Amino acid sequence: MLRNPGLTGRGGMARSPSATAMAAFGLATRPLRSTLPGVGVGLLADPRYAIMQRPQESPPYSRRARMNDILEGVVIENHGALFDVLVGDAMLRCFLRGRLKKDKRQKSALIAAGDRVKVRPLGHGRGVVEEVLPRESDLSRKAAGSIPLQQTLAANVDQAIIVFAAAEPAPDFFMLDRFLVVTAVAGLDQVICVNKCDLGESNSLRERFALYERIGYRVLFTSAIAGKGLDELRALLADRRSVICGPSGVGKSSLLNALAPSLSLRTAAVGDVTHKGRHTTSSVTLLPLPFGGWIADTPGMRQLAFWEVPRDLVAEAFPEFRRFLGRCRFQDCSHAGEPGCALHAACKDGQIDARRLRSYRQMVGR
Ligand SMILES: Nc1nc2c(ncn2[C@@H]2O[C@H](COP(=O)(O)OP(=O)(O)OP(=O)(O)O)[C@@H](O)[C@H]2O)c(=O)[nH]1
Ligand SMILES: [Mg+2]
Ligand SMILES: [Zn+2]
């Protein structure tokens, strides 16, 4: 199984599937809320985070002393100007310290779900983010719209579950290839998940995804409704830090609900599978999994423009291209039909699928 071999990724992330996600996010070594009344609100009342509840073993702290502490936490959700940060067993609604906004990156790239941050609690469930700690990985795209803006979708995750539906909506393989490139560039392990298999798996659909299996990707066939493939998905997610992504309406949130009903995520109303352009999930939210690990649920993406991904990195993100790269007649070959192109020759020989080469060319604008 080729698991994204050879790509070190933007963050150069070291992968440690066995490391527990909790420790990796630097989360929750001591209860906070229970020892400091008024610091955190809402967390234990939110059933999604009930699994974070731990025995209250710490000695009581003085309110004043802890208020002045700078504590480490992880960003759970980005509300635009405000962020929910999990600190110990408390959720703090935080704003960003003004000087952080002077960072040359736009705010959409500065802080994202999964970021480890230093927070100063202000009481009454409020806090201020003093510092965003360096990332191990960074899953970014160019934000939708005409202004060039980096948008970090999730930070510090190490695996991407890329979901498409067998039908409703039918899979768009150019989009799948884009998701594969963006997540490879971020250095993430990748799983392709074909959901809604209860709606039928035609032979041609099987064949299309078999191509990805031959390339070395792990492809999982699931149904959130019929419960198919869920044990396998659960095993892949356990104790990992994952992000689930894909187009809108493919059943990302439904899959998470099927795996962990206590998450109670909002999904599209039955019968409204195309959403008429609406997204049911509206912001990235980091969720704890009852069987260990964390997952960032993301809103469906209609566009996935690259953020500063050089062309040769795009080619490298196609695992089956790699052994031919560097063998073209021209060193700066763009693989768009130049004479002596090794990728083109491999495609003629049947060693590279023509649809994948076309996908690559479309991505690099050739
Ligand atoms: N038949 C069938 N329908 C499903 C399955 N999974 C989800 N659905 C339906 O598909 C619709 C969309 O599901 P969601 O879970 O909201 O999809 P999503 O990918 O989270 O969508 P966004 O949040 O908009 O990105 C809902 O009506 C679900 O009931 C499945 O396995 N089979
Ligand atoms: Mg959703
Ligand atoms: Zn070439």
- Mean per-residue pLDDT over the chain, rounded: 82
Q: Give the length of the chain.
A: 366
pLDDT in tens, 142-184: 988 888 889 999 999 999 999 999 999 999 999 999 999 999 9
Tell whether ligand 1 has an atom less than 6 A from the beta carbon of residue 196. yes
Q: Give 268 Cα–ligand 2 centroid separation in angstroms.
A: 8
The pLDDT value recorded for residue 107 is: 74
For residue 328, report the distance from its CA to the centre of ligand 1, in Å.
44
Separation of CA 166 and ligand 1 centre (Å): 12
- Rounded distance, CA 142 to CA 308, Å? 8
DSSP state of 228: B
Q: Which run of H or of E encompasses 85?
A: strand 83-87
Q: CA distances (Å), 323 to each of 12, 211, 343, 364, in order?
A: 21, 17, 9, 19
Average pLDDT over residues 302-320: 91
Number of Cβ within 10 Å of residue 277's Cβ equals 7
**Rounded distance from Cα 285 to ligand 1 centre (Å):** 17
Ligand in nearest proximity to the CA of 163: 1
Residue 268 identity: A
User: Lowest mean pLDDT: which of 19-28, 42-51, 94-103, 244-253?
Assistant: 19-28
pLDDT for the residue numbered 310: 87
In this predicted model, what pLDDT tens digit does every residue of 7-63 receive, in sequence order? Answer: 544 443 333 333 344 455 655 444 444 444 444 444 444 656 655 544 333 333 334
Which among 168, 151, 59 has a CA at the least distance from the CA of 107? Answer: 151
Q: Identify whether the C-beta of residue 342 lies closer than 8 Å to the C-beta of residue 357.
A: no
Range from 47-61, 164-178, 235-249, 343-357 carrying the lowest mean pLDDT: 47-61
**Which domains does the chain possess?**
21-138 (2.40.50.140), 157-297 (3.40.50.300), 311-363 (1.10.40.50)
In short, whether 359's Cβ falls inside 6 Å of ligand 1 is no
pLDDT of 251: 96
**Bond before 290 cis per omega within 30 degrees:** no
Q: Which ligand is nearest to the CA of 251?
A: 1
pLDDT at 199 > cutoff 90: yes
Cβ 267 under 6 angstroms from ligand 1:
yes
Ligand nearest to the backbone CA of 331? 3
Which whole number is the average pLDDT over 101-106?
68
Residue 325 or residue 25, greater confidence: 325
Query: Which two tokens mark 95?
Result: 């704003």
CA 323 – ligand 3 centroid, Å: 12
125 contact partners, CB below 8 Å, separation of at least 6: 38, 39, 40, 41, 42, 90, 91, 92, 93
How much of the chain, in percent, has pLDDT values that exceed 70?
77
CA distances to 160, 234, 276, 286, 287 from 265, in Å:
19, 17, 20, 12, 10
8 A C-beta contact, residue 319 and residue 4: yes
**pTM over the 0.75 mark:** yes
